Chain A
Amino acid sequence: MLASNFPALLADKNTTFFFPPRASTFAEETDAFFLYILWISLFFFALIVIAMVYFAIKFRARPGYQGDSRPLHNNALEITWTVIPTLIVIWIFARGVYGYIDMVTPPTDTIDINVTARKWDWSFQYPNGAIADTLHVPVDKNIRLLMRSEDVLHSFYVPAFRAKQDVVPGRVTTYWVRPILRGEYDLFCAEYCGDQHSEMIKRKGVVVHDQAGYEAWLAKAAQPPRNPVAHGYWLYSRLGCKSCHAVEPGKRVVGPSLAGTFGETLKTADGESVVFDENYVRESVLEPQRKAREGYQNASQMPSFQGKLKNEELDAIIAFLKALKDNPALIDAVKDGDLTEDEAKALGYWTEESDAGESDGGAAPAEDGAAAPDEPSDAASATESTPPDGSENGPTETATAN
């Protein structure tokens, strides 16, 4: 509609002047309703502004004109302008409730994904145990998110899906969606959550695959790298450490950089000295407030990972931190936000998986599941084609993938 008037403001063909892509079943109803309210509002607004301008000109004070200052009354008019807006508002209320009920009533056949929000990252746990910091879902399936927060309020918001839901610590809030358009969409945190609130922007953090792509991704994502260092990095980038700790030496994000400190002696906030060793890491991760580092007592506190990490996972993290010490090659490899299989192999942090069958789906040259391997290009082409209905390509895709 208005889109054609503002080409420069549009990101791609799927967005319209007011809306991002319509990637869920909610979008059609919400967008249509949005535009109905827009037309109603424009009508009344035009009425008001025209009346205002007309009266201001027609009855303006000018030589030779004298208005009548006596009070006016017009019951018919007053009843009209009370009743009509009331009826319209009742309709808007009812239609809003209609759309809302759909948004808050998940169907029974859902794929359940557990979502954990923390400062300042998301983690998604899939039915097969895979954990990732991005949301991957199959197209045309009902998805239900069971959302928890580890610290403060956050809000799960994917504009392309239209709906949002706060994530409240101490509660489990649910969100359901049926994606209808394959592609990659931005994920935002919509509830203010502190320092890095706006860093919870996850560009392309939501990937809608076809069924086969989803299954392939899922199988691969469940499989952490065998090598402890690569595994440690894998955890570091999935558990949210990344959003507070840099891998470049000396770079302060919220917490201190984790590179170059292993084995050093540090000062704590209480003035004691501690050695940054296996034990210290362990303590920092499980009971972060026990020994805060000097200069960081005012930093937003690190969440405790007590009970969330298995022993071997902790060991993997320790192995990774150890490896970071005086290791520019590794730092170089990971500071761009991923450690691809090739990089890991080149550095010697790769242990082949024993059962080769697993790695089949992941033959693509990508890191372990953080981004969907070949999906994006498919999705982009789906995105190019007809708007909401990406499902047309679904079956063929599945066929070829098999």
Chain B
Amino acid sequence: MSAVATSPSYSQPDSDNFLVNSRGFLSWALTLDHKRIGLMYLVGVMSAFGLAGILALVLRAELMTPTKMFLSNQQYNQVFTLHGAIMVFLFIIPSVPAALGNFLVPIMLGAKDVAFPRLNLCSFYLWVVGAIFFLTAMLATGLDTGWTFYTPYSTTTQGPVVAATLGVFVLGFSSIFTGLNFIVTINTMRPPGMSWFKMPLFLWATYATSIIQVLATPVLGITVLLLAAERVLHIGIFDPAYNGDPVTYQHFFWFYSHPAVYIMILPGMGIISELMSVHSHKSIFGYRFIAYSSIAIALFGFLVWGHHMFTAGMANVTTIIFSALTFSVSIPSAIKVFNWLATMYQGTVKLNTVMLYALSFIFLFTIGGLTGLWLGALSTDRMLHDTYFVVAHFHYVMVGGTLVGFLGGIFHWWPKMTGKMFNETWGKISCLIVFVGFNLTFLPQFVMGSRGMPRRYARYVEDFQELHQMSSVGAFVLGIGLFIALGVLLHSLFRGRKAPPNPWGGATLEWQCASPPPYYNFKTPPRVNEPYDYTPLHFRGDDKGWEYVHPTESDAPRVDEVESKPATN
């Protein structure tokens, strides 16, 4: 017990626990605590995910047969629009940065809160308002433009396009404010001793993401406003009926939406860097490279939007340049994968739930990345563009990558957020089912795509039926896996063992405060250390977890017998 005392913020009175230090609806609704805001975001984005996931299952069920099962063409179009729009705007973009980022950024910095707590609450409410606006608009009248709002369909269809674009506009501000807050927080609130290169890689990823959010999202705002103006006032920019050009719209749209792909994946990569290192009990391989590459990806990401438009009728030279730039972004991502693998080398790898999710991420993200080669190459893209090959590719990146990384992150930080340990066995089972279900869903789609099955089709040619059926069965398996994961987490809230401050042996600062953290995070600023140096960590048993003993405090007793038996469950 005396060892525990060596870090000042280890034991906290229960009344300080941020979850219960104040009670009642308003104490949450008006909270400025970044952790509570993070949790509210978590509940919000997961609800959005649940809704959009159910819609995905509806689509997959309809696609069991080539002809109509229960959705008319029009309903199918509305459902895929809702699925895509909710997943992108309400789930993936805010998922990691807003939910986990809010919770972790200040604690990883040893700070009390983000730089602008009120702005933070404001961005949460903007998200809520945007979400309500968006959802009611779409559910009430049925938006059928696809999440991309391509003109001139979106300027002529009957759906609630203007309302939905205003929803996107509001959501964009939520995203911008979050990004701004993180940039300022990371720039100004790093504790003494934490130089840029002593920051956890999750913060580097968050920083890079925030740059994109702040620089790119305004373009989305402009795009949707112009779209609304074109639709209502016929200003003549996107609709050829008024001398506009649809390809211009696509440039505007992808100028945001390609960087947005990196808003979606960079934080996932940041999570994986943490997970691989902590659960391999091994210093991260190539720290500087991973840190720099996050920023490089963020900046290069601004130059490759045209790869969504290789068949749209751009000039040939432009097309070739965009292809070259696209390939240049692929290299840093590839090297990150090698770095994560090398991190395991000679480490002490714990194959627990979190690690299985991290390894699944690497497996799936690699497939997502490699299949990008076909789409970046111009001749094969002309064959595969707008087919299921693309659908499978981006689901491997967005779901296999971001979602699986996000789940891994939730499991990893769950004990910290809730103070409860989850059931490892069921956690691993959930990961296994998610993994199998995911691959069964999306691997067949690559083949469908190369055989010519176009995307966004409510009906299809019978030849594709077997593959579609495999995919649909996979989707339901995936759904079951995710449902079990949810069950594991919820179960832990009621039945879970109490979590020690540092159950996994992480060296970053969030593991030095209690689980769950007190509302003030740290009573005294924590001592800054190397984020991936595990030598000062000592295992004190399952109940007490790992303890960080600063090298200068090595007079503290070292329990070497216990130490040689790390948690393996």
Interface residues of A (CB under 8 A from B): 8-9, 11, 15, 17-20, 26, 29-30, 33-34, 37, 40-41, 44-45, 48-49, 51-52, 55-56, 59-72, 74, 77-78, 81-82, 85-86, 89-90, 92-93, 95-104, 151-153, 155, 157, 159-160, 162-166, 168-171, 173, 186, 188-199, 201, 203, 298-301
Contacts and interface: CB of A to CB of B under 8 A. Distances in A.
A168 B348 contact: no
Given A30-B380, A52-B341, A194 B535 contact: no
Nearest to A169: B240
Nearest to A15: B451
Interface of B: 73-74, 77, 144, 146, 150, 152-153, 156-158, 240-241, 243-247, 280-287, 289, 311-313, 316, 319-320, 323-324, 327, 330-331, 334-335, 337-338, 341-342, 344-351, 355, 359, 362-363, 366-367, 370-371, 373-374, 376-383, 385-387, 447, 450-452, 454-461, 463, 466-467, 532-535, 564-568
A164 B327 contact: no
Given A41-B371, A59-B349, A197 B457 contact: yes
A97 B386 CA distance: 19
Given A96-B378, A151-B156, A168-B312, 6 more contacts: A33-B377, A41-B370, A48-B363, A49-B366, A56-B355, A70-B535
A383 to B, nearest CB: 15
A152 B249 CA distance: 13
Contacts of A98: 379
Contact of B158 (A30, A72, A298): A298
A61 to B, nearest CB: 5
Contact of A49 (B323, B363, B532): B363
Contact of A72 (B285, B461, B565): B285
15 contacts: A17-B447, A30-B379, A34-B380, A52-B341, A52-B363, A55-B345, A67-B282, A69-B281, A85-B335, A89-B330, A165-B313, A170-B245, A193-B153, A197-B457, A198-B454
Nearest to A89: B327
A188 B452 contact: yes
A152 B156 contact: yes
Contact of A190 (B324, B385, B566): B385
Contact of B146 (A18, A190, A192): A192
A17 B451 CA distance: 8
A18 B452 CA distance: 9
B331 A85 contact: yes
Given A95-B379, A163-B383, A169 B152 contact: yes
Given A20-B451, A45-B366, A82-B335, A191 B386 contact: yes
A87 to B, nearest CB: 11
B331 A162 contact: no
Given A34-B374, A71-B283, A60 B461 contact: no
Contacts of B344: 52, 55-56, 59
Contacts of A78: 286, 289, 335
Contacts, number: 285
Interface centre among B327, B467, B564 (most CB of A within 10 A): B327
Contacts of A171: 240, 245, 247, 313
Given A67-B281, A95-B379, A96-B378, A164 B349 contact: no
A26 B379 CA distance: 9
Contacts of B455: 190, 192
Contacts of B330: 85, 89
Interface centre among B313, B324, B460, B463 (most CB of A within 10 A): B313
Contacts of A160: 452
Nearest to A197: B456
A170 B240 contact: yes
A11 B447 CA distance: 13
B311 A69 contact: no
Contact of A196 (B73, B240, B381, B450): B73
B377 A81 contact: no
A188 B451 CA distance: 12
A165 B334 CA distance: 31
Nearest to A163: B382
A17 B467 CA distance: 12
B319 A100 contact: yes
A86 B382 contact: no
B351 A72 contact: no
A85 B350 CA distance: 30
Contact of B348 (A8, A48, A66, A170): A66
A58 B324 CA distance: 39
Contacts of B362: 48, 52
B568 A100 contact: no
Nearest to A63: B565
A67 B385 contact: no
Nearest to B568: A61
Nearest to A27: B383
Interface centre among A11, A166, A299 (most CB of B within 10 A): A166
Contacts of A165: 311, 313, 382
Contacts of B73: 195-199
Nearest to A185: B452
Given A78-B289, A191-B386, A201-B461, A159 B451 contact: yes
A59 B331 CA distance: 28
A55 B349 contact: yes
